Structure 1
């Protein structure tokens, strides 16, 4: 299921950012990516994303990251190591997997991410988990 088809897209304010390789949705609590079928997420794509979202990443804002992988694509897990070394923006990450192969890939990536990374079976599980992290609980309870 795509983000715009889930219940949270009606409940949360978000901004949709389109790229040639996919779409990223920006909310107060998380960034959610939906990349195109068959792409390879490498340093070039990561650099473009970091450049576009540098205002969030560089201001010390804490945010979650969700990869909604309903399309099949590859991801260089070394990107997590490089990102974690240079930035401290993500408090946690969730990867939504739709196949056993995607789940196995997410398990490999988990070894490269130095914070909490949850593998989820659907987008609503991932969003619910991110929004219930202790870092966001205070903000959510005030809304």
Structure 2
């Protein structure tokens, strides 16, 4: 299910960021990513997105990351480690899977990062998990 077609799109009121390789929905505590069919998500694309994340969330963001894998695409799993080492902005990640190959890819990606990655069977599961993270239960002035 596309994020825009979900109940959460209306309630969370995200800022929609369209890039040539995918759509990003910037919510208060996390972002939802839907990469385009056939995209190869490399480090150059990752840095383009990270620049936009800093513009939106500020200088020292601590956010969640939800990959809503509605399309088939490829990525370099080393990007997880690079983002973690260079920017340290992702508190936790969730990967929404719609088939077995996505599950296997997500399992491999988990090995490339120290950050928690939850494999989810639905967008609802991913968002509910993200909203329940203890890292986001800080006092409002810290968010």
Q: TM-score, normalised by structure 2?
A: 0.92
- Extract structure 1 runs of 4+ deviating beyond 4 A: none
2:47 maps to 47
Q: Between Structure 1 and Structure 2, how many residues are aligned?
A: 140
1:70 and 2:45 equivalent? no
Structure 1: 5+ residue stretches without partners: none
Matches of 2:107 and 2:56, distance apart in 1 = 27
1:126 maps to 126
- Where does 1:1-143 land on structure 2 (aligned, <5 Å)? 1-55=1-55, 59-138=59-138
1:13 offset after TM fit, Å?
2.3
Q: Deviation string for 1:58-96 (max 9, x for gaps)?
A: 622211000000101111100011111111111100000
> Considering only aligned residues, what root-mean-square deviation do their CA atoms show, in Å?
1.6
1:29–1:58 CA distance, 2 compared to 1 (3 A): closer
Structure 2: 5+ residue stretches without partners: none
1:108–1:58 CA distance, 2 compared to 1 (3 A): farther
Matches of 2:51 and 2:129, distance apart in 1 = 27
Q: Deviation string for 1:15-72 (max 9, x for gaps)?
A: 0000111100000010111010111110121121112222357622211000000101
